[in-house]
Amino acid sequence: MRILIRTSRWAIWARRLGSVAVPLVVLSVLLHHLRLIGSEAFVNAALGGALVAGLAVLAGIIALARLWQTGDRGWGSSLLGLFLGLLCLVPYAWYGSLALTYPPVTDLATTARDGLPLVFEPGTVSMPPPLLLTRQQAETLFPSAETRIYPLSQAQVFALVEQLVADAGWDVRRVRAPDAAFDPALLNAQIVTLPGWRDEVVLRVTGDEASAVVDMRSASLHAPHDFGANGRRIERFLADLDTAVTVLLRDNPTINQPEIEPDADVVVEDDAPPAN
């Protein structure tokens, strides 16, 4: 007598759901990154991808449990669906952990935000109201996101800032270089995050020929939560700027040092007789 071995329906559904979840998650991120879909559509697609991935994991677990009991076929499909579902859920788990670590915030600055104006996106009429941290929260979560003061001229520090922005590959939108009147120098740049959100960075350098003060602002243009990205970006950039200034001062120890002129009252006699 021939024994019929069935293929578990749970295994089939686990594979199907996992195969749908992968392109749903990848395509939603890709289309948002390329600005082919709006932020609201991206959020809905991302949530849909998470739901499908979760169902794939659930179906895979149920399929494996039933296969262990019944001896039906479908181990490969069950494991594939489980793997694809878990793979799709990894970024959601990562951002979930960040959401538990950082409170909702979309705008962070080292000083008053009105002195660091945003350019916004071309054609953008308005932005959602920013979510801000209290001063105590900012100092606790991002202790290194503070104003920097350097013993270099405004122009020298601004040149370092421009170089670091270029090295980071940020899209510069506006530059107001230092001038002879030592007006505040500004640089606005836009950053596209991996999920496709647009962030804007504002850097301001004030000072004179002897010293320079650097302030920075990083804001999410339309994201509902930055997951700590703005604060970490400010800390990382200012740490790189600290390093760049340190290297410049180390390699040029006399930079920005006043020249010492010889005293006109001191006369050096070259023809003085040698001492006995």
Phi, psi of 224, rounded to the nearest 5 degrees: -75, -15
- Check residue 253 and give its pLDDT: 85
Domain ranges for the chain:
9-101, 107-251
- pLDDT the model gives residue 1: 44
Query: 């489980």: which residue's tokens?
Result: 82
The confidence score (pLDDT) of residue 263 equals 56
The pLDDT tens digits along the chain (276 residues) read: 454 457 788 999 999 999 999 999 999 999 999 989 988 899 999 999 999 999 999 999 999 998 888 877 888 999 999 999 999 999 999 999 999 999 999 999 999 999 999 987 655 556 678 889 988 999 999 999 999 999 999 999 999 999 999 999 999 999 999 999 999 999 999 999 989 999 999 999 999 999 999 999 999 988 889 999 999 999 999 999 999 999 999 998 888 766 555 555 555 455 555 554
pTM (2 d.p.): 0.83
What's residue 275's pLDDT?
53
pLDDT number for residue 39 = 86
pLDDT for position 16: 94
What number of other Cβ atoms are within 10 A of residue 188's Cβ? 23
Task: Give the helix/strand (H/E) hosting 190.
Answer: strand 185-192
CATH class of 107-251: alpha beta
pLDDT of residue 270: 52
The two structure tokens encoding residue 58: 């659930």
